[in-house]
Amino acid sequence: MTAEQLISFARGAPSLDIIDVEGLKAAAARAFDADPAGVTAYGTSVGYVPLRKWIAEKHNVSADQVIVTNGSLQADAFLFNHLVQPGDDVVVEKPTYDRTLLSLQNLGAKVHQVTLQSDGIDVDELRTLLESGVRPKLAHIIPNYQNPAGITLSVSKRRALLALAVEFGFTIFEDDPYVDIRFRGDALPSMLSMDSDNAVVHASSFTKTVCPGVRVGYLVGPAALIDAIAKKATNLYISPGMVSEAIVHQFCVSGDIERSVQTVSTALGERAQVLAESLRKHIPGATFTEPDGGYFLWVDLPDDVDVDKLFPAAMKKGVAVVKGSDFLLEGGNHSLRLAYSAVTVDQIDEGVRRIAAAIEEVRA
Ligand SMILES: Cc1ncc(COP(=O)(O)O)c(C=O)c1O
């Protein structure tokens, strides 16, 4: 490996070697053969109807509770636009996905970040916030292998959150693109499946299990809400891309998706382990929790390492990272998010060596 070749711990996307390109090509051929009219037409804003049905069955809901979108980021945007007005209070995790922070800020929402503990959001801190009089429209929660912290919300906290949502009348937005990328442990029930009060809207995506290029994600929620969002989606773009949704549909019904999930989970599990070993070896002052799944590992560095200085120094050495401060309204100046999804195993140790060298440089 040459020193010039960039090693990226920045991108939360699967590397090409774990994307089933041949499977997708075959799924595309089957999609055009099986349904040439449906694939090539505009379609409707709820998405490609057979894929919508497959998603509804996966989540054990009726099809009118599902809208399929161009990636889950669009699902997020639809929901935020629908529920949040300028000045509205919203709750997010601390730290949280940087694009969520940006979207909510751009909408003029009053964003409250609530501490993320090793078993998920601090529900006592949230209760204190609610009891102080704050009435959020929604709480955005990434329950499994959280982006950026790699943390999973415990079942007891899922229950506690649902109870708070009912008591204080807010929507839980369960943003769950990483759930299937599990290295160890049992799958936990989604809050969507635990909810009997229409308190949860759930989003997920095929980005992390198939590939980002298909841009297929979705929203599951109460039928009336999905219908209202679908009407706005019609005015915005008539329909999302039928070609890619039909390909994803064929990829799912053939069972290829299960193999793809297995491939990605196995590869990322190994990469996460190698990354943890390299961090222990080369950056002994770093603290982190090894994730049980997902794409990310959050690293806290010693207090004398300023990530604003580290970021450019690391780039100069040919390694890309994301600053912890990108995921927070304030703080995060000594933390990094490392994605192990876009690197191959043989790049990881060298990448961590480069980060270690950059740390020494900025400390000096
Ligand atoms: C928590 C979370 N939500 C949504 C998204 C957007 O994913 P998509 O590619 O489905 O738009 C991401 C992508 O990184 C994410 O981490």
Domain boundary among 220, 254, 288: 254
Asked if residue 343 belongs to a domain, the reply is yes
Could you tell me if 239 and 275 lie in one domain? no
Task: Kindly state if the Cβ of 177 falls inside 6 Å of ligand 1.
Answer: yes
Confidence (pLDDT) at 323: 98
3-state class (DSSP) for residue 66? strand
For residues 135 and 93, membership in a common domain is answered with yes
Q: Which atom of ligand 1 is nearest to the CA of 216?
A: 10
- Is there an atom of ligand 1 within 6 Å of 77 CB? no
Express each pLDDT in 24-54 by its tens digit.
999 999 999 999 999 999 999 999 999 999 9
From first to last of the 364 residues of the chain, give the pLDDT tens digit. 444 699 999 999 999 999 999 999 999 999 999 999 999 999 999 999 999 999 999 999 999 999 999 999 999 999 999 999 999 999 999 999 999 999 999 999 999 999 999 999 999 999 999 999 999 999 999 999 999 999 999 999 999 999 999 999 999 999 999 999 999 999 999 999 999 999 999 999 999 999 999 999 999 999 999 999 999 999 999 999 999 999 999 999 999 999 999 999 999 999 999 999 999 999 999 999 999 999 999 999 999 999 999 999 999 999 999 999 999 999 999 999 999 999 999 999 999 999 999 999 998 7
158 with 284, same domain: the answer is no
- Residue 176 CA: which ligand 1 atom is closest? 1
The reported pLDDT for the residue numbered 4 is 66
Q: Are residues 25 and 14 in the same domain?
A: no
Indicate if 63 and 200 belong to the same structural domain: yes
Residue 47 located in a structural domain = yes
**Residue 209, domain member (yes or no):** yes
Tell me, using a 6 A CB cutoff, whether residue 175 lines ligand 1: yes
- Residue 145, pLDDT score: 98
Which backbone phi and psi does 235 adopt, to 5 degrees? -65, -30
pLDDT at residue 292, as a whole number: 96
CA pair distance 145, 180, nearest whole angstrom: 10
Question: Residue 63, CB half-sphere, CA atoms under 13 Å: how many?
Answer: 9
CA–centroid distance, residue 364 to ligand 1 (Å): 37
> pTM (2 decimals)?
0.96
State which residues form the domain around 167. 21-254
Q: Find all residues with CB under 8 Å of 354, minimum gap 6, and list them.
A: 7, 314, 317, 318, 319
Is the beta carbon of 70 within 6 A of some atom in ligand 1? no
The CATH number assigned to the domain holding 330 equals 3.90.1150.10
How many domains does the structure of the chain reveal?
Answer: 2
The reply to whether 296 and 227 lie within a common domain is no
Is 336 in the same domain as 296? yes
The token pair that represents 215 in the structure block: 């841009």
Same-domain pairing of 248 and 283: no
Nearest-atom number in ligand 1 for the CA of 212 is 9
Q: Of 203, 227, 254, which marks where a domain is finished? A: 254
Cα–Cα distances (Å) from 288 to 165, 275, 279, 284, in that order, read 31, 11, 9, 11
pLDDT score for 285: 92
Which pair of structure tokens corresponds to residue 343? 């690197």
Atom of ligand 1 nearest to the CA of 76: 4
Spatial distance between the Cα atoms of 326 and 99, rounded to a whole number of angstroms: 9
Does residue 319 sit within a domain?
yes
One domain, residues 148 and 59: yes
Q: What is the DSSP string of 189-239?
A: PPHHHH-SSS-EEEEEESTTTT-GGG--EEEE--HHHHHHHHHHHHHHHSS
What is d(CA 333, CA 151) in angstroms, rounded to the nearest whole number?
Answer: 20
| Beta carbons within 8 Å of 168's beta carbon, 6+ residues apart | 130, 135, 136
Residue (of 257, 215, 255, 247) closest to 30 by Cα position: 247
Tokens of 320: 């890309």
Give me ligand 1 centre to Cα 96, in Å.
11
Q: Are residues 270 and 192 in the same domain?
A: no
Ligand 1 centroid–CA 177 distance in Å is 6
Find out whether the beta carbon of 71 lies less than 6 Å from any atom of ligand 1: yes
Residues 97 and 239 in one domain: yes
Q: Is 195 in the pocket of ligand 1 (CB under 6 A)?
A: no
Atom of ligand 1 nearest to the CA of 74: 11
Summarize pLDDT for 115-173 with one digit per residue, the tens. Answer: 999 999 999 999 999 999 999 999 999 999 999 999 999 999 999 999 999 999 999 99
What is the reported pLDDT for 364? 79
Q: 221 and 311 share a domain?
A: no
Q: Is 1 inside a domain boundary?
A: no
Residue 217 Cβ inside 6 Å of ligand 1? The answer reads yes
CATH of the domain at 111: 3.40.640.10
Tell how far the Cα of 252 is from the centroid of ligand 1, in angstroms: 19
